[in-house]
Amino acid sequence: MARTDKAKQKQRDLLAKVPAAATRIKVVDEFKNECWRELADVAITDVIQTNKAGAPVVMRGKPGRKKSKTNVPVNDAAKELLDRKKDSFSKDTLLQVALSDSNSTDLLHQVIIGLGEETASLLFERHEAERKGKDTSQVSVRRINGLKAVAETWLKRKDQLGAKSLDLTSPAYMAAVQFILETMQEAMATLDVERELSQTIFAKFSQLTKKDSWEPELKARIKSAH
């Protein structure tokens, strides 16, 4: 499907915001697949992905000195291994989230998934060791440590989500409050509530929300609902 002039202009505007150090940009192609493109390879049908600030999600070059030109694979087998490793990195969700937005709440979620996969692998190792009549104490210790790491990361994730949900200054929260107030106003109009009485009610409501005890009570109720 051909893209509209508005969509094309939006793509041009986002490309203009790409930092000079960026090497790739995150897009969704015409088949709804999420991928990383070289800047020169962005197609007109690609939808550029943006972060919370509205800036394009990009991948920057690695910091530090450039690799020595002499640091090349010693043979074809080593080159193949290196290529496979690079391909694995490009498909690793945790790494890509970290590179694109290290402040994203999705990062801890991906860490939990990774830790879960490793602890599951350790459980398989323990079962195999038991089946072969081998000692499983070392594997069990490693799995216990893995489970502790999962639990600790999960608690951090929960705190992270809780802190996010309690942000009373966020645009999302303000939009929700505004919609609730508009709905209340519409309800009063439907019930033919006099304008002066409606204004009095909203003025009283505003006074109550400005009390020192109102915001802590709201946070406590939201937190208790989790």
Per-residue pLDDT tens digits for 36-70: 888 888 888 889 999 888 889 998 765 445 555 55
In a domain, residue 149? The reply is yes
In a domain, residue 17? The reply is yes
Determine phi and psi for 186, rounding to 5 degrees. -65, -40
| Rounded mean pLDDT, 99-114 | 77
Among 100-104, 143-147, 153-157, which stretch is predicted with the lowest mean pLDDT?
100-104
Q: How many folded domains does the chain comprise?
A: 3
Point out which residues pair with 36 in neighbouring strands: 26
Examine the domain organization and report whether 150 and 176 are in the same domain. Answer: no
Which residue has better confidence, 19 or 157? Answer: 19
What is the spatial distance between Cα 108 and Cα 98, in angstroms, rounded to a whole number? 10
Among 96-100, 135-139, 149-153, 222-226, which stretch is predicted with the lowest mean pLDDT?
222-226
In a domain, residue 92? The reply is yes
pLDDT of residue 192: 82
In a domain, residue 157? The reply is yes
Q: 3-state SS of the chain: helix, strand, coil percent to 5?
A: 60, 10, 30
Q: Is the pTM of this model over 0.75?
A: no
Give the residue numbers spanning the domain of 118. 76-165
In a domain, residue 82? The reply is yes
In a domain, residue 217? The reply is no
**In 3-state terms, what secondary structure has residue 201?**
helix
Which residue has better confidence, 121 or 154? Answer: 121
Determine phi and psi for 206, rounding to 5 degrees. -60, -40
In a domain, residue 87? The reply is yes
Examine the domain organization and report whether 101 and 160 are in the same domain. Answer: yes
What is the spatial distance between Cα 81 and Cα 124, in angstroms, rounded to a whole number? 26
pLDDT of residue 160: 66
Nearest Cα residue to 106 out of 34, 16, 21? 34
- Supply 193's token pair: 């509530």
Structural domain ending residue among the three candidates 111, 139, 165 = 165
| Rounded mean pLDDT, 136-151 | 87
pLDDT of residue 124: 92
Work out the percent of the chain whose per-residue pLDDT is above 70: 86
Examine the domain organization and report whether 155 and 83 are in the same domain. Answer: yes
Examine the domain organization and report whether 132 and 197 are in the same domain. Answer: no
What is the spatial distance between Cα 49 and Cα 46, in angstroms, rounded to a whole number? 9
Structural domain ending residue among the three candidates 165, 182, 217 = 165
In a domain, residue 185? The reply is yes
Examine the domain organization and report whether 152 and 171 are in the same domain. Answer: no
Examine the domain organization and report whether 203 and 144 are in the same domain. Answer: no
